[in-house]
């Protein structure tokens, strides 16, 4: 499931839980950022309590990433209220009874993804990324999907 129009913060984990309930025999992967997951991270407990096979990939850069990206690309890097602090998501996962893994390099990331996909239940994967890593596609303000920037 993908919300391509507006990327609502906090949508990913609850949507993944819904998908896992609807399709319990399929693995479900939620890809989110450290800002977005903090809108609903308490739902890790729900996923674990229900024994759902959900894998959560968290890109951690210490920013509300898409908002920062808008400010970078369209507002001349005039950053306002986008720098955030984030918990240790591996420790947080374990506190909810889930599995937690962290990758700081591409080699570690590949190994972690393989491990996560072969681990039953809720798995939280924390990917440390650079602060100004951007996500595409993105639609410029006031324009339509026909005007999206893809790189």
Angle, CA 81 vertex, CA 46 and CA 104 arms, to 5°: 60
Rounded to an integer, the average pLDDT of 109-127 is 97
Is the residue at 1 inside a domain? no
pLDDT of 151 strictly over 90: no
Q: What is the DSSP letter of 97?
A: T
Q: Where does the pLDDT of residue 94 fall: very low under 50, low under 70, confident under 90, or very high at 90 and above? A: very high
Rounded to an integer, the average pLDDT of 84-109 is 95
* Residue 45 burial (10 A CB sphere; 0-12, 13-18, 19+): middle
- Select the more confidently predicted residue: 128 or 69: 128
pLDDT of 2 strictly over 70: no
Is the residue at 6 inside a domain? no
Cα–Cα distances in Å, from 71 out to 83, 117, 141, 148? 12, 35, 11, 16
Q: What is the DSSP letter of 14?
A: H
Number of domains in the chain: 1
Is the residue at 112 inside a domain? yes
- Rounded Cα distance, 62 and 9, in Å: 15
Q: How is 19-69 classified by DSSP, letter by letter?
A: HHHH-TTS-EEEEEEHHHHTTSTTHHHHHHHTT--EEEEEEE-SB-HHHHH
**Model pLDDT, residue 3:** 57
Q: Which helix (H) or strand (E) holds 93?
A: helix 89-95
**Model pLDDT, residue 84:** 92
Domain extent at residue 85: 12-147
pTM: 0.88
**Model pLDDT, residue 4:** 54
Is the residue at 3 inside a domain? no
**Model pLDDT, residue 129:** 92
**Model pLDDT, residue 60:** 95
Is the residue at 59 inside a domain? yes
CATH number where 135 lies: 3.40.50.970
Residues 6+ apart with CB under 8 A from 42: none
């Amino acid at each position: 499931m993908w919300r391509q129009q507006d990327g609502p913060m906090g949508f990913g984990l609850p949507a993944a839980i819904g998908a896992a309930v609807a399709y319990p025999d399929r693995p479900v992967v939620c890809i989110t950022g450290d800002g977005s997951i903090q809108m609903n991270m308490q739902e890790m407990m729900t996923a674990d309590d229900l024994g759902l096979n959900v894998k959560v990939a968290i890109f951690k850069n210490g920013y509300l990433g898409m908002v920062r990206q808008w400010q970078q690309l369209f507002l001349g890097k005039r950053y306002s209220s986008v720098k955030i602090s984030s918990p240790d998501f591996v420790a947080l996962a374990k506190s909810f009874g889930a599995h937690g893994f962290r990758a700081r390099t591409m080699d570690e990331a590949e190994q972690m993804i393989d491990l996560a996909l072969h681990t039953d239940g809720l798995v939280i994967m924390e990917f440390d990324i650079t602060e100004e890593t951007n996500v595409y596609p993105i639609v410029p303000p006031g324009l339509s999907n026909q005007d999206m920037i893809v790189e």
